[in-house]
Amino acid sequence: MESVILPIGSTEQHGPHLPLGTDSYIVRRLSEAVAAELKTDLLPVLNYGISFEHADFPGTISIQPETLIKTVREICEALLEHYQRVIIINSHGGNTATLRRLNSGKTIFIDLFDFLKKILNDVRDTEIGGVCHACEIETSLMLYLEPSLVRSEKITDEIVKYIPQLDPQSEEHLPDGWKTINFSNSGVIGDPRKATTEKGEKIFHTLVQKITESLKQDSQKGE
Ligand SMILES: [Zn+2]
């Protein structure tokens, strides 16, 4: 066995209609599909990450960036005793900058958002700059992957469509330290009313295909 996938998600509020483990459910299903395509081994999801921006909402759990990086580094060290390559697949934006630091040599970092950005305009009916959360995209993915966990009747009417402070293109951009509660009472950023199962299916399979292709190219480079 040469490669193994380590999926990393989060436990954090996703508005009234999605479960706390949304990121973890999504990354588990994505990683299962990628592992099947590449015939690699697959670890259970690491369900905790850096979610301080959602701390005002119950059920959110955060670990410090140093805790996350130390934990993941030690997991990778143990795996590299037996595997040639560890592929980290991350689905939570709050983890991205910290985990990217591990991308070197035998540890490959795959961030969902790097791939999502390229396909967003083809699938999304809402416009939002920068961050969105429990939005059209995440809700569509959950409707497709875990429909029994989506409480559609609780989808909020408080729609937060655009927040310049969260948009990297805006002059008002706040890179760090922002709190979801300051922008959204429900915890949702974006418009989950636009979510559909069909969009979720399209996003999911496109992500699996693009991530798989990128990892195949990467392993060819390494040979
Ligand atoms: Zn999420």
CATH number of the domain residue 125 falls in: 3.40.50.10310
**92 CA to centre of ligand 1 in angstroms:** 6
**72 CA to centre of ligand 1 in angstroms:** 20
**76 CA to centre of ligand 1 in angstroms:** 24
**124 CA to centre of ligand 1 in angstroms:** 16
Domain of 135? 3-222
How confident is residue 222, by pLDDT bands cut at 50, 70 and 90?
Answer: low
**42 CA to centre of ligand 1 in angstroms:** 21
Cα dist. 89→28, 93, 184, 208 in Å? 9, 12, 28, 11
pTM value > 0.85: yes
- Say if CB 87 and CB 42 are below 8 A apart: no
User: pLDDT tens for residues 121-162?
Assistant: 788 887 665 668 999 999 999 999 999 999 999 999 888 877
Question: Per the structure, how many domains does the chain have?
Answer: 1
User: pLDDT tens for residues 36-77?
Assistant: 999 999 999 999 999 999 999 999 999 999 999 999 999 999
Residue 199's pLDDT is what? 95
User: pLDDT tens for residues 6-20?
Assistant: 999 999 999 999 999
Written as one string, the DSSP assignment of 11-53 is B--BTTTB-TTHHHHHHHHHHHHHHHHHT-EEPPPB--B--GG
**138 CA to centre of ligand 1 in angstroms:** 6
